[in-house]
Amino acid sequence: MSSPAPSAPGTLARTRRAILDAAIRVFAEDRAAPLGEVAKAAGVGRSTLHRYFPDRAALVRGLLDDCTETIEQALAEAALDQGPLSESFRRLLRAFFDVGPRVDFLFNEPLLSAEDWTSPSWEAAHLPAAILFERGKAEGFFAPEMDVEWFFRILWYMMAAGWEAVSEGALARHEALARVTQTMEGGLLAHRR
């Protein structure tokens, strides 16, 4: 792939960011939307979009790379290695919930394969959460029979349920996050003391 033509410093990054952000918005509304709609939403011409992303597959890969970087940054900001485990776990849930629209689209994208979800960069982005899980098991916070693969599977499924409720208008964002948190912390059963 050839690089976009040189331009003013920062313009390339801003244009790329505008395309990625527009793609998430457009594809969230219509997964089959043509790239022309993405270009229009980004405020660029189709030829500009194609200089950055020659086809839909390249754009989807760009979205996955961007999502991976976003998760990595969100988990770093969540400082999962600091404070009590219960607070760190809630920060993890909030961080993953905030990445919602990017991940929700990508999880349902047929251009991505199982290998994409087990790539070294995707795994590395999740490392702080995996370390938190192992710390939680060691301290008795998480059930001993759970493993890290199940932890991530349930974590992402719960996030998807919350994002879906928000996108359908069934819950406000803060209500969805509260329900996801409650379910992850205590399940659906009423626990008697």
**97, 162 Cβ separation under 8 angstroms:** yes
Sequence-distant (≥ 6) Cβ neighbours of residue 144 within 8 angstroms: 137
- Residue 41 located in a structural domain: yes
Higher pLDDT, 58 or 5: 58
pLDDT at site 2: 44
What is the C-alpha separation between 116 and 63, in angstroms, rounded? 12
In this structure, are 148 and 98 located in the same domain? Answer: yes
Is-contact 69 98, C-beta < 8 A? Answer: no
Position 122 pLDDT exceeds 80: yes
Predicted local distance difference test score (pLDDT) of residue 6: 47
* pLDDT number for residue 191: 61
76-80, 98-102, 121-125, 172-176: least confidently modelled range: 98-102
Looking at residue 3, what is its pLDDT? 46
User: Are both 36 and 101 inside the same structural domain?
Assistant: no
State which of 29, 54, 79 marks the end of a domain.
54
Q: What is the CATH number of the domain that holds 27?
A: 1.10.10
Q: So what's the pLDDT on residue 105?
A: 80
Please tell me whether residues 80 and 42 are part of one structural domain. no
Q: How many domains does the chain have?
A: 2
Out of 117-121, 150-154, 164-168, least confident range: 117-121
Tell me the mean pLDDT in the region 140-157.
93
Burial (CB < 10 A; 0-12, 13-18, 19+), residue 130, is: middle
